[in-house]
A and B are shown apart, each in its own frame.
Chain A
Amino acid sequence: MTISIGRRRFNRALGASGLAVAAGTLGAPLPLRAEAARVVIVGGGPGGATMARFLKQDAPELGVTLVEANPVHTTCFYSNLYLGGLVDFEDITHGYDQLAELGVEVVQGRAVGVDAESRILELEDGTTLDYDKLVLAPGIAMRWDAIDGYDEAAAEIMPHAFQAGPQTRLLKEQFMGMREGGTFLMVAPPNPYRCPPGPYERVSLVAHQFTQHNPTAKILILDAKPSFSKQALFEEAWRTHYPGMIEWVPGDFGGKVVAVDTDAMTVTNEDGEVFEADVINCIPPQQAGLVAAAAGATDESGWCPVEPDSMASTILPDVVVLGDASLAGDMPKSGFSANSQAKVAAMVLRHELTGSRLFPVRYRNTCWSSTAPEDTVKIGANYEPRDGRITSFDGFVSEVGESDELRREQRLEADAWYASIIAETFGTS
């Protein structure tokens, strides 16, 4: 410990000159106490930002640094409601001021590499940050090689909008400006991917816009999968609210897209059939955010294996992986999951670094999906480490044919959840 403090101090002094450090976070001189360990977190989404908050709030003596590539974070959750015209873009975009106020050192920069043996994180601009514990919560990266012709440039023409921000705005502009009676085509990804019900909630809320602005428009989903999350519920909603508008093609019946052509605005399935559309929302296969692979925290699947009782990397020492980037057993890749994992992992990290109490580990998830402004369904489960794996036990899912009143109440519930997770992640408590 003593040696690393010298090193830590040196690097931090060096680092400060080249970094945009949020004001008011490092007023005090460096702590001389050996126990003031330093945790560096990569990624300020629900995984990383929740970790930063809970660590700093519960163990103010720890040095907590949050490295985030962007000045603000637009949440993917509720981005479909933005597409559907139910919330504003500003409502889903959040900054890091309040985390900084809490004492989290917020560094704007992109992490590109990790020296796990020396415990050093490297940023794109060449800065290095020393850590005692590193938390990787970088979310997902698209597999640009997976669909022929679908690369970063193609995503500017056929947006995925599965990382919220400019992509989300672009997709909305495209389908709101679509010609009358045109076709919106979604390429839905194979498992595992971010937010299992996300593509189908999106289609529902795009259909909601079309019923008002372009009632003869059509929506076609070409899906790599044979079935999808909450399928019966979505299909019920599509029949009820958007009869005849949405067609879903499963993987075994021509849904597997292998190539796109951005000039012709077409996609091609594995049987060689070509589909033309006016707007193409291409959601490709995914992998852990690139820094995870650069760090060496991923396995052959492209995701990060973790210990089920701590979210610690099973590959790298002193590294924790949270959220979508992790292989979290039965847990879906959701914002709710990332937030839940972060709280558990913060409890364990705090125990390791400060000797605080260790409590039983349990994770939770609930995902609401709005199929129309006042028709919201949900699914949820509990999770526990069992036999070396995060395993679900008990759960619930909405039922087909529920009352309109319940579905309306669940929309209010979803709104309240959004307010809560945002307050907890980016806000004041």
Chain B
Amino acid sequence: MSATTAAPVWTKMRPKQGALSRLFDWKPFLAFICLLPAAGLLMTFLTYPLGLGIYLAFTDTTIGRPGIWVGLENFIWLAEDPIFWNAVFYSVFYTGVATIGKFALGLWLALLLNQHLPMKSLLRAIILLPWIVPTVLSAIAFWWIYDPQFSIISYLFIEMGLRETNIDFINTAWPARWSLIAANIWRGIPFVAISLLAGLQTISPSLYEAALLDGASGWQRFRYITFPMLLPILAIVMTFSIIFTFTDFQLVYAITRGGPVNSTHLLATLAFQRGIPGGQLGEGAAIAVSMIPFLVFATLFSYFGLARRKWQQGEGND
């Protein structure tokens, strides 16, 4: 278009920035703008419910009646409630045993999958299955597996002549507790295995070759190379796993609803039981709030106890 006019003049001088453009170049403003959506979402869906829950824990709200501030009364009540203490015990027990189980089996699986196996990717996909199935569905499957009459496990045992009667999985306290832990382990293994596998794959094979030449046996390679190099990831995965397990709700609620006789209540299921069906919102909230110290402690422990390693890149504590 302008071909007929003189050659375009171009100086290296940049055009002056407009006010708006300058505003967006101003770092504090830019940071504020970029954080706004995330902060808004967090405030609405995280901070507000959490704050409300904590507030409710100090009131005697019930469904349909706004409560009044009662201070620590809910907690004092709970301190004398054997069912609450039973739930505390079972939550800790459930988390502890299931975490050990998940990590022992998950690590073993990850090590196995890290070998050169035929059809490796297919195996990995299969292993992820328990995790991608919605929890409630797998809980219902376990409910059937544990059914007093139609349990497939009982059926197999009886068919093989190993037992005469059906196994009692969930109708007495201790078998029910162990059965739920087994279901939780089954569900949690994939997460652990796949995360640890990702960690294993970051370890350079030449380290193993060097260790091989240094004379390390298979166990020693695991003990001195794999394990220490995996620790940082292990710590993070364990933190998440502990949090998920401690706050578990779906499995227990779908399989036993806390029964028999409240023996398998976790804090989360008990809080729900008291708060929603029971209508005691204040007391339910107090139970939920009482989980916070446990979670904070578990997080701090695995984070500081395991994650900090001097040799890692990018940490200034030389």
- B is a partner of A: no
List B residues at the A interface (Cβ < 8 Å).
none
